[in-house]
């Protein structure tokens, strides 16, 4: 038996899930103040599932990219719980979770990164497992990296895909791409992907659990300001 | 009663273990000062990123240093505000989640309560009641403290905080961020009587203070004087701040009829201020206490300590396991939340 708790708060939808041998139970909220809802959500969910925290084998979390504060929140809560319980953490890309929430087989997961940019990753379903075909990156929608040449057709999903659909289609010369609407990274997929990681022995000690931001330049140094 | 304390309100990640009987067992700090110095001030997003990286390794380290394990913790105290929202969030989330996992209480502490109580961590532990002078990067206040959670504001700065004045003045003198300690080193070789700087509001009948006019005066001096005068400018500035604070301290003690002054916050590390407060107040029968210099600036020890006192007083928040951070938070509001 393995039990996994999963947390995802990289976008305006915040969700938690428990995975008990392939069975999922979920809870979610949307809005602004995820920090106040995440932990109570975990407690409610565990109660509903009739589980105690001590029964968990690992804590999976959506590690981003996404809202800086959101990914830090999921990461911090995963760190605290896993450290206290003496179990590993399972970092899952929020873009892969977004892709895995679709029924498609080849997905471009795109989140709005603000400032006119996007977070982008390409994923494919290969032998019942989601694989990364193009590692997550931060880019301008007008100039995304070339798509991996796979032959199969692409589905686009996520806030960035919805917002920049035609620009992206142009850049990649896609004719009538399918853009799936209204999807967000969800803890259900974080749990499923996390279960795969745990099965392969890829859990990380909580102190090595980190968020993925992709945007690293967040301020100008004194020197950079003077050069301007 | 063993309490883990976590401080992440600004640019220092502080973690400590305090035991009600044995005292402070371990206290570690990761300072981000060097990183933010490249930017000329604290970059909130970078501060948060560092907290989430360093917090668990620091918790490991205090446990290791004290030879304790997670299972011996009785509570976790963390800074819930005021401070930078993103930075507070990391400490609160880790603390609340860890406490949930261990099934022990988590206590959200007010950062200034931590500072206010930090002098009680010194060897000669002052007794309540006392007047507290809190002089930090964000605050300059006189407070009457009659017990845990019994705080009333007597007066405060109407503009810049004293630490902020130190930092801005240091910047004018070409010193790098954070300027307080650098300015006071420069002042050591200067003559504090060389320039007469204004002492705004020194003689106002209340306990309020003002520091922003000082930096304007310094800026004029910097323009008109050769560079060789800078140590004297620094010393004269430091003297003016010290005079202002000493003068108001005397007034605060006589207004409250208290016999004890407790100084907390980063500027409390300033040697001139320490010397002058002692030499002016002690002859008047006033005892002056400072935290150990290391505990003047942000640290985990003061949060662990405040948490331990709260725990001992039986002040336990109902185990709600939800948490809210308070980037802006008055001590009065905080005290009410404890029912003080
Ligand atoms: N030796 C010194 N002389 C003068 N000022 C100093 C000295 N050492 C530190 N400071 C000043 O103390 C301030 C930092 O103190 P502290 O860390 O207590 O403030 P803070 O935590 O930023 O503010 P707050 O607690 O009000 O939010 C800075 O302004 C710094 O320049
Ligand atoms: Mg402080």
Indicate which ligand has the atom closest to the C-alpha of B265. Answer: 1
φ, ψ of residue B276 to 5 degrees: the values are: -70, -40
Give the number of other Cβ atoms within 10 Å of residue B192's Cβ. Answer: 18
* Per-residue buried b or exposed e for A182-219, using 16+ beta carbons within 10 Å of the residue's own CB: ebbbbbbbbbbbbbebbeeeebbebbebbbbbbeeeeb
pLDDT > 90 in chain B, percent: 89
Considering chain A, what is the average pLDDT of its residues? 95
* Dist CA B303 CA B81 (whole Å): 11
Structure confidence by residue, pLDDT tens digits, B97-130: 999 999 999 999 999 999 999 999 988 888 999 9
* Dist CA B245 CA B167 (whole Å): 17
Give the number of other Cβ atoms within 10 Å of residue B241's Cβ. Answer: 25
**Residue B317 pLDDT > 60:** no
* Dist CA A45 CA A6 (whole Å): 11
The helix-helix angle for B212-224 and B230-256 (nearest 10°) equals: 160
Alpha helices in B225-318 (DSSP H): 230-256, 271-281, 300-312
pLDDT > 90 in chain A, percent: 89
**Domains B2-116+296-339 and B126-290 fall in the same CATH topology:** yes
Q: Does A69 touch chain B (CB under 8 A)?
A: yes
Tell me, what's the pLDDT at B321? 66
Structure confidence by residue, pLDDT tens digits, B48-75: 999 999 999 999 999 999 999 999 999 9
Q: What is the DSSP letter of B193?
A: T
Structure confidence by residue, pLDDT tens digits, B12-28: 999 999 999 999 999 99
Tell me, what's the pLDDT at B318? 56
Structure confidence by residue, pLDDT tens digits, A102-115: 999 999 999 999 99
Residue whose C-alpha is closest to residue B278's, from B244, B250, B236: B250
Tell me, what's the pLDDT at B209? 97
Structure confidence by residue, pLDDT tens digits, B154-168: 999 999 999 999 999
SS (H, E, C) B122-141: CCCCCCCCEEEEEECCCCEE
* Dist CA A71 CA A61 (whole Å): 9
**Residue A16 pLDDT > 70:** yes
Please compute Rg for chain B using Cα positions.
20
Q: How far is the CA of B301 from the centre of ligand 1 (A)?
A: 17
Of all residues in chain A, the one with the smallest CA distance to B45 is A218
Are the C-beta atoms of B111 and B75 separated by less than 8 Å?
A: no
Give the number of other Cβ atoms within 10 Å of residue B22's Cβ. Answer: 11
* Dist CA B91 CA A6 (whole Å): 20
Alpha helices in B27-178 (DSSP H): 33-37, 44-66, 85-102, 111-117, 162-172
Confidence of residue B315 (pLDDT cuts 50, 70, 90): low
Assigned CATH class of B126-290: alpha beta
Confidence of residue A34 (pLDDT cuts 50, 70, 90): confident
Residues in chain A, overall count: 228
- C-alpha separations of B223 from B65, B189, B196, B310 in Å: 51, 20, 16, 51
Q: How far is the CA of B32 from the centre of ligand 2 (A)?
A: 14
**Residue A99 pLDDT > 80:** yes
* Dist CA A162 CA A154 (whole Å): 14
Residue whose C-alpha is closest to residue B278's, from B290, B267, B269: B290
* Dist CA B91 CA B279 (whole Å): 40
Q: Does A64 touch chain B (CB under 8 A)?
A: no
* Dist CA A142 CA B50 (whole Å): 32
Who's near A145: CB < 8 A, 6+ residues apart? A120, A134, A137, A139
**Residue B320 pLDDT > 70:** no
CB-based contact B56 A206, cutoff 8 Å: yes
Q: Max alpha carbon distance in chain A (Å)?
A: 60
CB-based contact B96 A43, cutoff 8 Å: no
Assigned CATH class of B2-116+296-339: alpha beta
Structure confidence by residue, pLDDT tens digits, B184-234: 999 999 999 999 999 999 999 999 999 999 999 999 999 999 999 999 999
Q: Max alpha carbon distance in chain B (Å)?
A: 64
Structure confidence by residue, pLDDT tens digits, A124-174: 999 889 999 999 999 999 999 999 988 789 999 999 999 999 999 999 999
Tell me, what's the pLDDT at A219? 95
3-state secondary structure (DSSP) of residue A68: helix
CB-based contact B97 A76, cutoff 8 Å: yes
Q: Does B335 touch chain A (CB under 8 A)?
A: no
Considering chain B, what is the average pLDDT of its residues? 94
Tell me, what's the pLDDT at A175? 86
Are the C-beta atoms of A61 and A90 separated by less than 8 Å?
A: yes
Tell me the domain boundaries of chain B.
2-116+296-339, 126-290
Average pLDDT (A70-78) is 98
Tell me, what's the pLDDT at B238? 97
CA torsion A83-B100-B14-B59 (nearest 10°) is -30
Tell me, what's the pLDDT at B124? 80
A chain contacts of residue B95, beta-carbon cutoff 8 Å: 80
* Dist CA B260 CA B35 (whole Å): 38
Using the atom order of ligand 1, give the atom closest to the CA of residue B134.
Answer: 26
Q: Does A73 touch chain B (CB under 8 A)?
A: yes
Structure confidence by residue, pLDDT tens digits, B241-258: 999 999 999 999 999 999
Nearest CB partner across the interface for B97, out of A37, A81, A210? A81
Q: Does B78 touch chain A (CB under 8 A)?
A: no
Q: Nearest C-alpha to atom 22 of ligand 1 is from which residue?
A: B137
pTM of the entire structure? 0.95
Q: For the complex shown, is ipTM > 0.85?
A: yes
């Amino acid at each position: 038996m393995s039990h996994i708790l999963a947390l995802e708060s990289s976008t305006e939808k915040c969700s938690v899930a428990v995975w008990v041998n392939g069975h999922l139970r979920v809870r979610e909220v949307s809005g602004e103040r995820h920090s106040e809802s995440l932990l109570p959500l975990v407690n409610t969910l565990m109660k509903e599932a009739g589980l105690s925290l001590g029964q968990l084998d690992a804590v999976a979390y959506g590690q981003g990219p996404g809202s800086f504060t959101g990914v830090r929140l999921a990461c911090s809560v995963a760190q605290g719980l896993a450290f206290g319980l003496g179990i590993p953490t399972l970092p899952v890309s929020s873009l892969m979770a977004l892709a895995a929430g679709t029924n498609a087989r080849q997905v471009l997961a795109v989140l709005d990164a603000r400032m006119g940019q996007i977070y982008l990753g390409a994923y494919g379903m290969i032998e019942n497992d989601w694989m990364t075909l193009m590692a997550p990156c931060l880019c301008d929608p007008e100039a995304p990296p070339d798509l991996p040449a796979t032959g199969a057709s692409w589905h686009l999903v996520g806030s960035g895909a919805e917002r920049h659909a035609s620009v992206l289609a142009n850049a990649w010369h896609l004719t009538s791409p399918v853009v799936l609407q209204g999807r967000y990274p969800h803890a259900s997929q974080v749990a499923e992907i996390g279960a795969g990681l745990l099965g392969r022995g890829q859990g990380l000690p909580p102190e090595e659990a980190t968020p993925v931001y992709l945007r690293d330049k967040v301020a100008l140094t004194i020197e950079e300001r003077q050069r301007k | 009663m063993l309490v883990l304390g976590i401080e992440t309100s600004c640019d220092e990640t502080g973690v400590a273990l305090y035991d009600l009987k044995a005292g402070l067992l371990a206290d570690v700090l990761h300072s981000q000062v060097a990183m933010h110095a490249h930017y000329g001030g604290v970059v909130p997003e970078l501060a948060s990123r560092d907290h989430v990286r360093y917090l668990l390794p620091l918790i490991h380290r205090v446990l290791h240093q004290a030879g304790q394990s997670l299972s011996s913790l009785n509570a976790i105290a963390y800074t819930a505000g005021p401070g930078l929202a993103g930075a507070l969030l990391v400490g609160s989330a880790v603390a609340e989640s860890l406490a949930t996992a261990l099934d022990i209480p988590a206590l959200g502490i007010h950062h200034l309560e931590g500072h206010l109580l930090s002098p009680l961590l010194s060897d000669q532990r002052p007794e309540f009641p006392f007047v507290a002078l809190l002089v930090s990067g964000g605050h300059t206040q006189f407070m009457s403290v009659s017990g845990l959670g019994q705080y009333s504001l007597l007066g405060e700065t109407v503009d810049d905080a004293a630490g902020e004045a130190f930092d801005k003045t240091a910047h004018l003198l070409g010193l790098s961020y954070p300027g307080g300690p650098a300015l006071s080193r420069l002042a050591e070789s200067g003559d504090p009587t060389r320039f007469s700087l204004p002492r705004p509001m020194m003689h106002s009948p209340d306990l309020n203070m003002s520091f922003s006019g000082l930096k304007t005066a310094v800026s004029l001096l910097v323009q008109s004087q050769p560079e060789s005068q800078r140590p004297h400018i620094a010393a004269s500035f430091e003297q003016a701040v010290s005079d202002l604070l000493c003068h108001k301290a005397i007034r605060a003690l006589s207004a409250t009829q208290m016999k004890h002054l407790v100084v907390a916050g980063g500027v409390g590390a300033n040697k001139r201020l320490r010397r002058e407060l002692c030499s002016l107040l002690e002859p008047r029968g006033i005892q002056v206490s400072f935290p150990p210099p290391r505990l003047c600036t942000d640290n985990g020890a003061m949060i662990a300590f405040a948490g331990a006192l709260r725990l001992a007083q039986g002040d336990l928040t109902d185990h709600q396991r939800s948490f809210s951070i308070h980037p802006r938070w008055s001590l009065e509001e905080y005290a009410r939340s404890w029912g003080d």
